[in-house]
Amino acid sequence: MDFRETAIDGVVLIMPRRHGDGRGYFAETFRHDLFQKHCGPHSFVQENQSLSSEAGTVRGLHFQVAPKAQGKLVSCIAGALLDVAVDIRPGSSSFGRHVAVELSAANGCQLWIPAGFAHGLCTLEPDTRVNYKVTDYYSKEHEQGLFWNDPDLGIPWPIESGKAVLSDKDRILPGLRAWEKGSLP
């Protein structure tokens, strides 16, 4: 496995090595010792999957606030997506900046997103499946989000705003500035 730091401290791109032959490939996708060495002392307590039937489906930008903030290890097990992490750590020198990477079943990459980041994605192919390992349990009381297409974030989404497939919840999330004024933990 290769671990690559991104432009924002703490967000790590993980690239499993695939060993292939005529049958396909084998890849080690998680090793606790290597993960802790490169990403820190985190343990996962819950694992989730999502299926997005249509290309252009946007999920997020979601996060949980303290004391139930979650780190996420995200991988794509079918299809492809643009995965995005936005730094929302108060006082961070990269507050409001983002990292965006393509995760796909074909490339096998994973993205480690520590607590203190909003997470979102846009599917690039139909029937895209995403797997999330998280460091704390889901808590409705601590769940928050940011509007996916907030111009202040400058995320280069691969879909026009009017064509994105969104949940009702994601359509009404606040922008970063509104959230910052009223929702900082």
- Of the candidates 10, 155, 182, the one whose C-alpha atom is nearest the C-alpha of residue 92 is 10
What pLDDT, in 10s, does the model give residues 91-128?
Answer: 999 999 999 999 999 999 999 999 999 999 999 999 99
Hey, how many other C-beta atoms are within 10 angstroms of the C-beta on 164? 19
Single-letter amino acid code for the residue at 144: Q
What pLDDT, in 10s, does the model give residues 64-79?
Answer: 999 999 999 999 999 9
pLDDT band at 155 (very low <50, low <70, confident <90, very high): very high
pLDDT for res 184: 47
- Of the candidates 15, 12, 20, the one whose C-alpha atom is nearest the C-alpha of residue 1 is 15
CB of 70 closer than 8 Å to CB of 136: yes
Single-letter amino acid code for the residue at 127: D
Domains of the chain: 2-183 (2.60.120.10)
What span, in angstroms and rounded, lies between the C-alpha atoms of 74 and 59? 13
**Four-point Cα dihedral 175, 134, 48, 31, nearest 10:** 130
What span, in angstroms and rounded, lies between the C-alpha atoms of 123 and 134? 20
What span, in angstroms and rounded, lies between the C-alpha atoms of 122 and 104? 12
Q: What is the DSSP string of 155-166?
A: ---SS-GGG-B-
- Classified as helix, coil or strand, 13 is strand
- Of the candidates 82, 63, 81, the one whose C-alpha atom is nearest the C-alpha of residue 72 is 63
pLDDT for res 183: 55
- The neighbouring-strand residues paired with 73 are 112, 133
Overall pTM surpassing 0.75 (yes/no): yes
What span, in angstroms and rounded, lies between the C-alpha atoms of 151 and 116? 20
What residues are labeled active site?
A: 62, 132
pLDDT at 142 over 70: yes
